[in-house]
């Protein structure tokens, strides 16, 4: 009998399990794939380690949301490349999105204009980011479900920040319009790219507060772990096992029966009993294998969000160092055309492993990931021949576009592979290959988001389908909120295990 069974070995699931195990609860994690990671995972090929989704860790500094996770479970800071920012390549200009606030403030005014409207917009975005990054680090909980949540939110936002809640129903388009910048195509193009990548929304529909956090994400700190996500996961799994947690990979869950205090998780390798369950999988999967009340509670959300799912395609390259050494920055975002819809290469993100990172690539080589959003329907119902052709054509297109930044990219690649929504469906178990939760709008986010507690006692949801949404920082915050709920409902008082106080030097990573 376990205190908690966690279904889904992505970041939200494992982070929740780590927190609970560190507080003395007996946990088990079920992962359908052959290794943990999910959409923040990795795969290896010919000595290279490629990130399959997330390539950077957000807000993992000592005072950040990710940093709080590491400290709470006894993991030392993650070694890696602290990014100074990245470069946005627009059709008519390049913009360096610096991490350092003063440098970014100068750059944006020089790149887009130093008018009263521009200054007003940036002040608003900066202020929203300041208040709500702080609120995230303090563990704000949404949607608000009662008096305790109201008090928590008030403390997290602080008295000075409460006036900003009037922007909860604003979109980014509203902010542009209020400052007379709706027709500023370069500015709108930059914001559209960042918003699509961080909240999977659009300028017209993305909630302003959520988008402000995404637009300022570099200021919260971006780090690419040594070895990429593979290096990151080595630390997490080593610590989880050191604390006594059980991880079962290659073990999909068929269904969950029972109720609070007597749940039965029916998986490929037998049945496990648990006091509580955390479903750290897409909401549609949680509804599919959960008890009847779970499906009933989630049905309205699933109907509402059915049209807001999206996918991604990624090119993985293993290339000689000379093909990417021409740029000082290792991360870039690219927009080909202001007039075309975003996706399928028109807005792509390029992540290159750091020089000398031998855990990511063999000596003299680098790992390169080029990702872009795409519609799911375009990859469905294809014959094997048509599917192979479409993958090949998209891979060629993305590499060709990336040669504006790296002119020799892919000329002598030793690895050249392409992932599509079908790939994500196969290896991460995501229905239709949808990634990153739903596209955030004012009608499905924050107070209207899918809650972690859906009203089924002892059954919790975690991951990018719930508030606050997608990304490593969101999964870390969500795991904190879910762990608090599980601990509050634990039948016995958890005890702090001796292993939590062990020296960081005792952690063995292999």
Assigned domain for 73 exists: no
- pLDDT of the residue at 491: 76
Domain hosting residue 284, numbered range: 2-43+226-306+439-504
CA 360, distance to chain mean position in Å, is 20
DSSP letters, 466-508, are: STT-SSHHHHHHHHHHHHHHHHHT-SS-----GGGGS-GGG--
Q: Among 400, 433, 466, identify where a domain stops.
A: 433
What is the model's pLDDT at position 506? 30
Instruction: Look at residue 67 and tell me if it is in a domain.
Output: no
10-residue mean pLDDT series, the chain (510 residues): 97 98 98 94 97 94 94 94 96 96 96 98 97 96 95 95 95 98 98 96 97 92 95 97 98 97 96 98 95 97 96 98 97 97 97 97 98 97 97 97 98 98 93 94 96 97 94 96 96 56 33
> Can you tell me the distance from the alpha carbon of 139 to that of 207, in angstroms, rounded to the nearest whole number?
20
8 A C-beta contact, residue 185 and residue 338:
yes
Return d(Cα 16, Cα 23) in angstroms, integer.
11
- Ranges assigned E (strand) in 229-374: 246-249, 253-257, 263-267, 270-279, 311-320, 331-334, 348-352, 365-374
Conformational region of residue 380, where left means phi above 0, alpha means psi within -120 to 50, and beta covers everything else? beta
- Name every residue whose Cβ is closer than 8 Å to that of residue 453 and which is 6 or more positions away in sequence: 145, 460, 461, 485
In a domain, 50, yes or no: no
CATH of residue 10's domain is 3.50.50.60
- Count CB-CB contacts under 10 A for residue 507: 16
- Residues of the chain by 3-state class (helix, strand, coil), percent to 5: 40, 20, 35
- Is residue 345 assigned to a domain? yes
Helix (H) or strand (E) holding 336: none
What is the DSSP pairing of strand 415-419 with strand 311-320? Answer: antiparallel
Output the pTM of the full model: 0.95
Task: Describe the strand order of the beta sheet including 222-225 as a list of residue ranges.
Answer: 57-58, 222-225, 80-82
Collapsed DSSP state (helix, strand, coil) of residue 396: helix
| 348 and 361, same domain (yes or no) | yes
CATH at 362: 3.30.519
Same domain, 443 and 481: yes
SS3 38: helix
The helix-helix angle for 472-488 and 65-73 (nearest 10°) equals 50
Whole-angstrom distance, CA of residue 403 vs CA of residue 26: 51
In a domain, 202, yes or no: yes
Q: Look at the block and give the residue holding tokens 């360096």.
A: 96
144 domain-assigned: yes
Single out the residue of 506, 466, 492, 11 nearest to residue 238, CA to CA: 506
Q: What CA–CA distance (Å, rounded) separates 195 from 9?
A: 27
Q: Is 49 exposed, middle or buried (0-12, 13-18, 19+ CB in 10 A)?
A: buried
233 closest CA partner among 133, 369, 188, 241:
241
Q: Beta 2-7 vs 365-374: how paired, if at all?
A: unpaired
The answer to whether 366 touches 358, Cβ cutoff 8 Å, is no
Listed residues 161, 193, 220: the one ending a domain: 220
Residue 257: Cβ-neighbour burial (10 angstroms; 0-12, 13-18, 19+): middle
302 with 444, same domain?
yes
Residues 399 and 474 in one domain: no
Sort strands 27-31 and 246-249 into parallel, antiparallel or unpaired: parallel
> Would 72 be classed as within a structural domain?
no
| Parallel/antiparallel/unpaired status of strands 85-89 and 331-334 | parallel
pLDDT at res. 374: 97
CA dihedral sign of residues 147, 151, 153, 157: positive
Residue 63 counted as domain residue: no
Distances (CA, A) of 6 to 244, 349, 395, 438: 15, 32, 36, 22
Judge if 334 and 416 occupy the same domain. Answer: yes
Tokens of 5: 């069974």
Number of domains in the chain: 3
């Amino acid at each position: 009998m376990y205190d908690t069974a966690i279904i889904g070995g992505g970041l939200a699931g494992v982070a929740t399990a780590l927190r609970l195990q560190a507080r003395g609860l007996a946990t088990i994690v079920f992962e359908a794939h052959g290794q943990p990671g999910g959409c923040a995972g990795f795969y290896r090929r010919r000595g290279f380690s490629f990130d399959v989704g997330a390539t950077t860790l957000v807000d993992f500094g000592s005072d950040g949301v990710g940093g709080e996770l590491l400290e709470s479970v006894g993991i030392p800071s993650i070694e890696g490349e602290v990014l100074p920012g990245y470069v946005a390549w627009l059709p008519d200009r390049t913009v360096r999105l610096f991490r350092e606030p003063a440098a970014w403030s100068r750059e944006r005014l020089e790149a887009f204009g130093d008018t009263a409207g521009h200054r007003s917009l940036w002040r608003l975005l900066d202020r929203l980011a300041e208040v709500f990054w702080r609120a995230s680090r303090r563990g704000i909980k949404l949607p608000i479900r009662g008096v305790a949540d109201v008090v928590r939110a008030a403390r997290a936002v602080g008295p000075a920040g409460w006036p900003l809640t009037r922007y909860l129903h604003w979109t980014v388009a509203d902010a542009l319009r209020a400052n007379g910048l709706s027709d500023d195509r370069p500015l709108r193009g930059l914001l559209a790219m960042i918003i699509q990548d961080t909240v999977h929304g659009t300028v017209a529909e993305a909630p302003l507060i959520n988008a402000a956090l995404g637009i300022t994400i570099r200021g919260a700190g971006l780090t690419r772990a040594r070895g990429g996500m593979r290096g990151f996961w080595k630390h997490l799994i080593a610590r989880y096992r050191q604390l006594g947690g059980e991880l079962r990979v290659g073990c999909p869950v068929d269904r969950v029966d029972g109720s609070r205090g007597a749940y039965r998780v029916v998986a490929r390798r037998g049945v496990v009993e648990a006091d509580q369950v955390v479903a750290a999988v897409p909401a549609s999967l949680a509804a599919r294998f959960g008890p009847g009340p779970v499906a009933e509670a989630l049905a309205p959300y699933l109907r509402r969000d059915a049209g807001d799912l999206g996918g991604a395609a990624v090119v993985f390259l293993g290339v000689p160092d000379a093909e990417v050494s021409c740029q000082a920055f290792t991360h870039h975002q690219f927009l080909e055309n202001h007039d075309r819809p975003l996706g399928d290469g028109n807005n792509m993100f390029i992540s290159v492993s750091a020089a000398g990172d031998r855990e990511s690539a063999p000596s003299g080589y680098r790992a390169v990931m080029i990702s872009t959003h795409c519609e799911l329907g375009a990859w469905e119902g294809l014959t094997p021949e048509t599917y192979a052709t479409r993958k090949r054509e998209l891979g060629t297109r993305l590499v060709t576009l990336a040669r504006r930044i790296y002119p020799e990219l892919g000329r002598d690649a030793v690895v050249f592979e392409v992932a599509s929504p079908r790939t994500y469906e196969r290896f991460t178990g995501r229905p239709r290959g949808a990634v990153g939760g739903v596209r955030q709008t004012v009608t499905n986010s924050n107070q209207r988001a899918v809650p972690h507690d859906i009203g089924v006692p002892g059954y919790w949801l975690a991951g990018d389908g719930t508030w606050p949404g997608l990304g490593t920082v969101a999964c870390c915050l969500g795991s904190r909120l879910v762990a608090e709920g599980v601990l509050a409902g634990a039948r016995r008082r958890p005890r702090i295990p001796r292993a939590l106080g062990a020296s960081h030097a005792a952690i063995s990573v292999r």
